[in-house]
Amino acid sequence: DAGVIQSPRHEVTEMGQEVTLRCKPISGHDYLFWYRQTMMRGLELLIYFNNNVPIDDSGMPEDRFSAKMPNASFSTLKIQPSEPRDSAVYFCASSLGLAGVTETQYFGPGTRLLVL
């Protein structure tokens, strides 16, 4: 298995532009997670899905952030409009069952976002 796939690996954009991050989870995994990592705040859970349905989006910073999972093999995280404080590494992860309850998360390589 190729593992969790994220694209792009790096993204540089200007403030106000729309940014779309993509994720392909491991085949057969029912859970998909989006995290943001910064030096100041560490790893923060933004949202997670179970069988394509959003379960907990309480970590989404504000209305500028949205996430979708149209099918079991694809998810997007969109920021519109982007701001410099959104600069971070965004990780996607997937798990076979609910992470933390016997199942582990498998992380993608991350997307490094820089908003100028």
Partner 1 sequence: LAKTTQPISMDSYEGQEVNITCSHNNIATNDYITWYQQFPSQGPRFIIQGYKTKVTNEVASLFIPADRKSSTLSLPRVSLSDTAVYYCFSGGYNKLIFGAGTRLAVHP
Binding region for partner 1 (CB under 8 A): 4, 33, 42-45, 48, 56, 91, 93, 98-102, 104-110
State which residue, 81 or 109, has the beta carbon closest to partner 1.
109
Q: Cβ 16 to partner 1, closest distance in Å? A: 28
- In Å, how far are 9, 81, 93, 98 from 70, measured between CA atoms? 21, 22, 16, 20
Q: What is the DSSP letter of 97?
A: S
Q: Cβ 108 to partner 1, closest distance in Å? A: 6
Q: Cβ 76 to partner 1, closest distance in Å? A: 18
Q: Are 72 and 6 in contact (CB under 8 A)?
A: no
State which residue, 10 or 85, has the beta carbon closest to partner 1.
10
State which residue, 17 or 38, has the beta carbon closest to partner 1.
38
Give just the sign of the alpha carbon dihedral 52, 53, 56, 58.
Answer: positive
Q: Which helix (H) or strand (E) holds 22?
A: strand 19-24
